[in-house]
């Protein structure tokens, strides 16, 4: 079977599964509505009616072997989309998107407040959801909200930060989970510092000569334990190198779009502005073309210079294989056309691949059809407001 045939069959299977999911949702919604209408028309007291409605949900849940919460979610999310984003529901019906993507979009549709934002969601979400993984879709939806309704998102973030905390959950095997709810920007800084510190740990102990057999995850866990049990500081002083892109208009406050991390997660513009004022912050200019792509750069050597490496990390964000979320700092720069065969060391011929996919490509098992296009820093859903210029034309002879 050819690769094209495999792709066609996979598409048919995916669509059939999505259509079957829609039929299940549609039946649940219709049956629930019909039974609830019958209950509402009865002469029972309000408490009895409420309990009868719950029985309907329980009956459906047991018949489908799912939880009652799952049934409630189907009913609620279907109602949300039919009312606020019917085009998304239509895409579900024909099999363009499946239930898990519908749930993610419905959650965002419920949070959006303005008709303009809802229209933008309805117009662009089905196409994006149909061609990206659920993880990519959720990140895209977060960016969409942060761009279209920045004040609402900022308010929610401020409220969520009131719940920041640390929790410890003990397990039966002598280990425990240490969990911390922190601002996204701070969590990114912590992760970056941990990654660099773990990589800096010598593989061989200089004093004993013993080889360090710990994995990267084990080293990071040990570093967290060491830092938390030996540090006496009580204020946050970030000493990690993190990278955040933000449009110049957002940075100066002319617009209110979010900053973006390497992997596309939005962070609040206010936090980025505050960070930009730190004496430790280094600002770099990233020049994009009109459609949001990093401008091409070519060098006459196999190894790209650091300036090109930085630009390509920003352009790709993660491993370029569709659906792979390997962080960009764990990827290699790969020549699409081999350097020995005349391939240039340029942005148009280089792409970030994680080590696993890089090895697959080197051995001829990674065709270009598995790759995503480079990231565009200008999202499709961003509206382009018209620029209105008012000019008064005065006849200088009459002005006197």
Regarding pTM above 0.85, the answer is no
Confidence at residue 398, expressed as pLDDT on a 0 to 100 scale: 45
For 298-370, give the CATH class.
mainly alpha
Residue 200 pLDDT exceeds 60? yes
Query: What tens digit of pLDDT does each residue of 269-295 get?
Result: 887 888 777 766 766 666 565 555 555
Residue 85 pLDDT exceeds 60? yes
Query: What tens digit of pLDDT does each residue of 332-346 get?
Result: 999 988 888 888 888
What pairing do the DSSP bridges indicate for beta strands 331-335 and 350-354? antiparallel
Residue 384 pLDDT exceeds 90? no
Confidence at residue 285, expressed as pLDDT on a 0 to 100 scale: 62
Residue 372 pLDDT exceeds 80? yes
| DSSP state string for 275-336 | HHTSTT-------B-TTSPBPP-EESSSSPPHHHHHHHHHHH-B-SBTT---BGGGEEEEES
Dihedral Cα 349, 319, 376, 383, nearest 10 deg: 160
Confidence at residue 241, expressed as pLDDT on a 0 to 100 scale: 64
Q: What is the mean pLDDT of residues 378-383?
A: 54
Confidence at residue 236, expressed as pLDDT on a 0 to 100 scale: 54
Confidence at residue 397, expressed as pLDDT on a 0 to 100 scale: 47
Residue 71 pLDDT exceeds 70? yes
Residue 144 pLDDT exceeds 50? yes
326 pLDDT tier (thresholds 50, 70, 90)? confident
CB atoms within 10 A of CB 296: 13
Domain(s) of CATH 1.10.30: residues in the chain: 298-370
| Average predicted confidence (pLDDT) for the chain | 84
Q: How far apart are CA 202 and CA 299, in angstroms?
A: 33
Q: How far apart are CA 101 and CA 95, in angstroms?
A: 11
Sign of the Cα torsion 261, 266, 267, 270 reads positive
- Cα–chain center distance at 369: 22
Confidence at residue 377, expressed as pLDDT on a 0 to 100 scale: 57
Rg of the Cα atoms in the chain: 26
Confidence at residue 283, expressed as pLDDT on a 0 to 100 scale: 66
- Give CA separation, 3 vs 9, 206, 337, 361, 363, in Å: 10, 52, 21, 16, 17
Q: How far apart are CA 10 and CA 13, in angstroms?
A: 5
């Amino acid at each position: 079977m050819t690769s094209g045939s495999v792709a066609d069959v996979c598409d048919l299977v995916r669509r059939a599964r999505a259509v079957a999911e829609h039929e299940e949702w549609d039946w649940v919604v219709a049956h629930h509505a019909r039974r609830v209408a019958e209950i509402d028309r009865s002469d029972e007291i309000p408490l009895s009616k409420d309990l009868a409605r719950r029985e309907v949900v329980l009956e459906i849940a047991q018949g489908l072997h799912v939880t009652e919460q799952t049934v409630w979610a189907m009913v609620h999310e279907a109602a949300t989309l039919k009312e606020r984003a019917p085009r998304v529901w239509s895409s579900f019906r024909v099999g363009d998107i499946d239930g898990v993507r519908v749930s993610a979009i419905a959650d965002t549709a419920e949070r959006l407040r303005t008709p303009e934002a809802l229209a933008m969601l309805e117009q662009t979400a089905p196409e994006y959801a149909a061609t990206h993984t659920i993880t990519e879709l959720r990140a895209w939806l977060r960016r969409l909200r942060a761009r279209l309704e920045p004040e609402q998102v900022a308010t929610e973030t401020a409220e969520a930060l009131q719940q920041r905390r640390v929790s410890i959950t003990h397990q039966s095997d002598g280990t425990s989970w240490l969990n911390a709810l922190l601002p996204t920007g701070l969590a990114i800084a912590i992760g970056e510092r941990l990654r660099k510190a773990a990589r800096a740990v010598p593989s061989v102990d200089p004093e004993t000569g013993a080889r360090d057999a710990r994995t990267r995850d084990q080293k990071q866990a040990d570093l967290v334990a060491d830092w938390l049990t030996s540090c006496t500081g009580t204020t946050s002083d970030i000493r990690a190198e993190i990278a955040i892109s933000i449009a110049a208009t957002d940075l100066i406050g002319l617009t209110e779009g979010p900053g973006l991390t390497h992997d596309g997660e939005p962070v609040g513009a206010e936090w980025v502005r505050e960070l930009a004022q730190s004496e430790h912050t280094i600002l770099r200019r990233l020049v994009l073309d009109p459609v949001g792509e990093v401008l091409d750069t070519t060098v006459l050597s196999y190894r790209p210079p650091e300036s090109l490496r930085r630009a390509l990390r920003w352009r790709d964000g993660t491993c370029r294989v569709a659906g792979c979320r390997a962080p960009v700092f764990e990827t290699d720069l790969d020549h699409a056309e081999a350097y020995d065969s005349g391939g240039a060391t340029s942005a148009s011929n280089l792409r970030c691949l994680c080590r696993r996919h890089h090895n697959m490509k080197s051995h001829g098992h990674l065709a270009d059809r598995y790759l995503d296009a480079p990231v565009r820093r200008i999202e499709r859903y961003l509206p382009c407001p018209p620029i209105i210029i008012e000019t008064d034309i005065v006849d200088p002879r009459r002005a006197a």
